[in-house]
Amino acid sequence: MGAAPSVARLLLELRGRTSVDVRPSGRSLQVRPKDSNVIAVHIHPGGIDLALDQDRANEVALSIEGAYVRDDEPVTQVSVEAYLIDANYDALLAAAVEAVEQRAAGKPVKAAAAAPRARATSTGTRAPAKPKAAAKPAPRPEPPRCPKCRQYELLASGECPSGYC
């Protein structure tokens, strides 16, 4: 990552201001509120993504030079490219702390995504069941081995490939 020193400093200061868990995921880091399973800050080689509620995301994006809002379902994110981290460090740190605190408080990141679920459960219908895990395929049987040397797998003709057995 080109912005590695800035990101390391950001993580240290973020840990000093709020309680977070940092989990690696491939070439990126996921920052979550302590004892939570929701991602508040996603740090990747291309930059940083902050999960904020939609109204606040627009304000934060306007306060950080070069930031933009990604309005993906079900999460609204403010994205900042890696080369802009140093120039916007203070505003980015404040926004990261805010993202962690919002996610820790359990605020919905996008109200439109939460509304259909609330309506479905309030009308008396059951919530959809969790999908079942896919069945594991049956293990392959061991190929037959030469009964004399027990070293080689038998050929389709039933003979040992060594030629000596």
Whichever domain contains 57, its CATH number is: 3.90.1150.20
Q: Which residue has 């309030």 as its token pair?
A: 122
DSSP-assigned beta bridge partners for residue 41: 31, 50
Q: Which of 64, 91, 108 is the last residue of a domain?
A: 108
**Tell me: the pLDDT tens digits for 74-84?**
788 899 998 88
CA gap 126, 116 in Å, rounded: 13
Is residue 57 included in any domain, yes or no? yes
- The residue type of 28 is S
CA gap 57, 36 in Å, rounded: 21
Closest CA to 56 of 108, 115, 1, 19: 108
Query: What is the extent of the structural domain holding 63?
Result: 4-108
Residues 81 and 16 in one domain: yes
Domains in the chain, number: 2
Is residue 124 included in any domain, yes or no? no
Q: Is the pTM value of this prediction over 0.85?
A: no
CB 78 within 8 A of CB 69: yes
Is residue 86 included in any domain, yes or no? yes
Residues 13 and 87 in one domain: yes
Mean of the per-residue pLDDT values of the chain:
80
